[in-house]
Structure 1
Amino acid sequence: MAVSINGKKLLIVGGGSGIAARLAVDAATAGAEVIVAARRHHEPTSSGTGAVIKTARVDLGDEDSVRELATHVGGLDYLVTMAADHANGPVTELDRAAVARAFDAKVLGPILLAKHLSPQIRPDGAILLFAGVAGWRPAPGLTVMATTNGAVAFLAKALAVELAPIRVNALSPGIVDSGAWDHMAEGRDRFFADVAARNPARRIGQPADIASAALLALTNPFLTGTTLHVDGGGHLS
């Protein structure tokens, strides 16, 4: 039986919009104390039920920044890291600095978060890392994205063993209407329709789909070292 998140303290690292925003609101509405930490400053917001979602600043490419975040947050129950910094394009044209930033966000940053925050996570707590469907369906131009997302799945297994009894899992979303695709303008709807036609679930994802799965991963006391594919079957198609 899943544990209630009511009264628990949750830190979400990486963005204040899209999936992160939905998870923050859902957790706060369920009674959790929520802090959202991102590289850019965000003002505290309301969950819509009166609960205030606190904010903090962190740069996953700077260990001092991660250390300061740990001091600021103090003890907590759950940590979710969903930061991303993409370095897409043909491998022959990749910029090394962009590749390094991508690994800082997805791999090195989460390792530093585990280093500085795991001692503050209560023994029945959990860490949730975010991967992505590209790790299981690589495509030309997405070599860095595929590699970082794949690394997240193995990092979750390794941390689950080392940090036990703290549970560590990964969540791999598919294509989600989170606002990340809005730059495609009119092409967005065609892209979504094509993805939905291929997915076994015959739809694309919504932030609520990912948020509910994240809460399951955090609160199920018998789930650890696992990657949850919440992608409508996208990694199979």
Structure 2
Amino acid sequence: MTSLEGRKVLVVGRGSGIARAVVLAARAAGAEVVVAGRDADTLAKAYDDDPGITAETVDLTDEQSIVALADRLGTVDHVVSTASARARGTVGDLKQETVLLSFSTKVVGPVLLAKHLAPRMPADGSFVLFSGATARKPAIGMLAVSATNGAVDALAKALAVELAPIRVNAVSPGTIDTGAYDALGEEKKAALFAQRAEANPARRIGTADDVAQAVLFALTTPFLTGAALPVDGGEPLV
């Protein structure tokens, strides 16, 4: 295992949920963390109690925004992209712009991050991308999500070959208890979680910390590259 002590880690995403868990885990491991998203002010407020965390602005759907971020950062050791765009819906209901935004955020965006940040990274640096369990277990209403996540897994492999020796991996969560399910309402959310916990081999729902620990593993394991790490409790097996 390599150390994150004193290394600079860029985490692209929100100030809550999985992204926040990743940021806090990297800080606990000694990293200097830069958080980046469309609203740097909101991100800064989410972490204003820690001087080791700084906030930057970036829009993964805008290459010039990524170029500007790279110029401001100078060098960076590791990059974690947790950003996504909601793309649920059956094939008859999906709009073209919804599908394109999903790919632009989770697939094209990381390609551009690699294009502009890899030249500024050391040989022992790494990227961690985010896919999801629907890449392995599609479900009705998750067509665009499944396709996007499958593309992320393929992208991690292709970038691992092209950027070597910089490592590239994907983390692929299953059902994780974050705010993503709050819109269902407490009753429906509880019922969904109970059903999935009963069905999966781990017999529980995942947490943001479960995912963050997988990200740390990917960041600090020097012989791991081109992998998609499933953090899903075995959900695709049933």
Equivalence for 1:83: 83
Q: Is the 8 A contact 1:35 1:56 kept in 2?
A: yes
* Number of residues of Structure 1 aligned to a counterpart in Structure 2: 235
Structure 1 pair 82/128, CA: closer, same or farther in 2 (3 Å)?
A: same
User: Which AA in structure 1 matches 2:124?
Assistant: D
1:40 counterpart = 2:39: yes
Gaps of 5+ in 2: none
| 3-state SS in 2 of match to 1:201 | coil
Moved over 6 A (4+): none
- RMSD in angstroms over aligned alpha carbons? 1.3
Counterparts of 2:58 and 2:152, CA distance in 1: 20
Counterparts of 1:132 and 1:99, CA distance in 2: 16
- Kindly provide the CA deviation profile for residues 67-109 of structure 1, in whole angstroms up to 9, marking residues without a partner as x: 1111111111100011110221121221111111111111111
| TM-score, normalization by structure 1 | 0.95
| TM-score, normalization by structure 2 | 0.95
Equivalence for 1:144: 144
Higher strand fraction: Structure 1 or Structure 2? 1
Higher helix fraction: Structure 1 or Structure 2? 2
Counterparts of 1:129 and 1:27, CA distance in 2: 15
Gaps of 5+ in 1: none
User: Which AA in structure 1 matches 2:231?
Assistant: V
Counterparts of 1:14 and 1:212, CA distance in 2: 17
Counterparts of 2:56 and 2:95, CA distance in 1: 30
Counterparts of 1:20 and 1:26, CA distance in 2: 10
Counterparts of 1:146 and 1:23, CA distance in 2: 23
Equivalence for 1:207: 208
- Kindly provide the CA deviation profile for residues 166-215 of structure 1, in whole angstroms up to 9, marking residues without a partner as x: 00001100111122111111211111111101110000101110001100
1:230 counterpart = 2:231: yes
Counterparts of 1:92 and 1:114, CA distance in 2: 34
Structure 1 pair 85/46, CA: closer, same or farther in 2 (3 Å)?
A: closer
Counterparts of 2:48 and 2:38, CA distance in 1: 21
| 3-state SS in 1 of match to 2:119 | helix
Counterparts of 2:106 and 2:76, CA distance in 1: 21
Counterparts of 1:46 and 1:14, CA distance in 2: 13
